[in-house]
């Protein structure tokens, strides 16, 4: 996938605070961790596909943990067959 020239200009003119915000986002943090872990596993430059898959795995796991922490432990409602909760 090629990046549009306008996107490159925007990215290069981003303030340092914007760069910090990117690294603070959950997905980008997971992507960075996946890149480093994949590089260590492959002992060199990581493959795109391996990094992509690992990043999404890390992100999905982090989201599950984040959402589980938000849910009260006492509030367990039965799951329905379609993925919702409670009675339909």
- State the average pLDDT over residues 54-62: 94
d(C-alpha 88, C-alpha 82), whole Å = 10
d(C-alpha 79, C-alpha 17), whole Å = 42
Predicted confidence at residue 16, as pLDDT, reads 52
pTM score over 0.75? no
DSSP 59: H
Q: How confident is the model at residue 3 (pLDDT cuts 50, 70, 90)?
A: very low
DSSP 43: T
**Cβ contact 27:63 at 8 Å:** no
- pLDDT above 70 coverage of the chain, percent: 55
- pLDDT above 90 coverage of the chain, percent: 40
Which positions ≥6 away from 36 have C-beta within 8 Å? Answer: none
Mark 40-52 as b/e (b = at least 16 C-beta within 10 Å): eeeeeebeeebbe
- State the average pLDDT over residues 60-72: 87
């Amino acid at each position: 996938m090629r990046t549009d020239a306008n996107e490159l200009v925007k990215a290069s003119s981003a303030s340092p605070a914007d760069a910090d915000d990117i690294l603070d986002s959950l997905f980008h943090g997971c992507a960075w961790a996946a890149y480093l872990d994949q590089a260590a596993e492959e002992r060199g430059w990581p493959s795109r596909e391996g990094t992509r898959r690992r990043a999404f795995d890390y992100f999905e796991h982090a989201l599950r943990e984040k959402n589980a922490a938000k849910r009260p432990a006492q509030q367990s409602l039965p799951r329905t067959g379609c993925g919702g909760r409670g009675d339909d």
